[in-house]
A = this chain, B = another copy of it.
Amino acid sequence: MAYFKAYSHIGVHEEMLKDHVRTNTYRNAIMHHKDLISGKVVLDVGCGTGVLSIFCAFAGATRVYAVDASDIALQAMEIVRENELSDKVIVLHGRIEDVEIEEKVDVIISEWMGYMLLYESMLGSVIFARDKWLKPGGLILPSHASLYLAPITNSHRYQDSIYFWRDVYGIKMSCMMPLAKQCTFMEPSVETISGENVLTWPTVVAQVDCYTIQAPDLETITAAYKFTSMLQEVVYFNLWSPRAMIVPAPLHGFAFWFDVEFNGPVRQKFKKQASQPLDVNMQNSNPSNKKKKADVSIVLSTAPEDAPTHWQQYWRPMQSDPADEVCNMGHIALEGLQHESCCAEICTMNTSQHEPYYAPKLSNMADVAVVADVP
């Protein structure tokens, strides 16, 4: 049994370490803040194999407390020893809420992000550690996080799983298509969404300032959105016809992704905007947000247009009629994201028909409740 625990751990850590975007961005961020780390005391919340702690030691930290509740801490101790850093990196095997640290720290580092940023994430532990041990004016890496939402199209998947049934080795199987459609669009999934599938600029669902956020802020996140699709696609009347129509690309659901920034304690530019209705889309405020961020700070992005990471994207499928998707507005509520079970309610209102209506297609989605009170 202990064996299997170890197995799952080593597989997970191998995957995370092999995510070069993740690990290299953390290393770059640590080296970028060398001045604030050298000669200082660091706390690594959820240290895993200890790689971030050791990067901090390489950056000149006097002492690093590396804390992990899982058995991987025992391996981290071995790794610290193998790198002859036992005098600098102190591995503590236990929950951050239970371990004892005798001094205040200058820096907190943590890789706490889960799928959809907050799903089963350790951000609560980072907040606990910050309030208990971080010196005033101390550094938190990462410092800020944003969760994004955008409508996507996924025609390739649609054709591959739905249209497939039209003709199977010369046998007609169109009668399978309704069931195939229901099955494909039933369950949310973590998968890779290409930048080409995103219908328009994303909206910001949540913003986290690690210097100021409080645990209750994470319990329920709500945001309103308004999307106008920018993507059109060419549809041929049939396989052999040269005639084609340009139509709005069909909406196949919503994708979530996130990025985190590594800023010093001074630059606390973020304000919580997530609850403001219908004004948070990036096309209104900041169409090239990511690029602007890249000028001023180090960003770890899991966006569809960026290099892939092990987080991929979170796709919440939705069936809809291809002609409808010119404009979409609605309301999203995320609950219990930090716990094992989470609930994301997406309510959409489609304005392309001039008479707004509540998308009834959502009722196909197994674990999604449709909220009726869209503004």
> Which residues of A are in contact with B by a Cβ distance under 8 Å?
3, 6-7, 10-11, 14, 17-18, 23-24, 27, 49, 51, 54-55, 58, 75, 78-79, 81-83, 161, 164, 168-176, 179-180, 182-183, 186, 366
Contact = CB atoms under 8 A, between A and B. Distances in A.
A174 B3 CA distance: 19
A176 B10 contact: yes
- Report how many copies the assembly holds: 2
Given A7-B183, A14-B161, A24-B169, 8 more contacts: A10-B180, A23-B169, A49-B168, A49-B173, A51-B171, A58-B170, A78-B175, A82-B174
Contact of A168 (B17, B75, B168): B17
Query: Which label, helix, strand, loop or mixed, suits the secondary structure of the A interface?
Result: helix
A172 B23 contact: no
Nearest to A187: B7
A14 B180 CA distance: 9
Contact of A83 (B18, B24, B171): B171
B176 A79 contact: yes
Nearest to A58: B170
10 contacts: A7-B183, A10-B183, A11-B183, A14-B164, A49-B176, A51-B168, A51-B171, A79-B171, A82-B172, A82-B174
A183 B27 CA distance: 28
A58 to B, nearest CB: 8
A161 B13 CA distance: 11
Nearest to A81: B175
Contact of A172 (B6, B83, B169): B83
Contacts of A168: 17, 49, 51
A54 B173 CA distance: 11
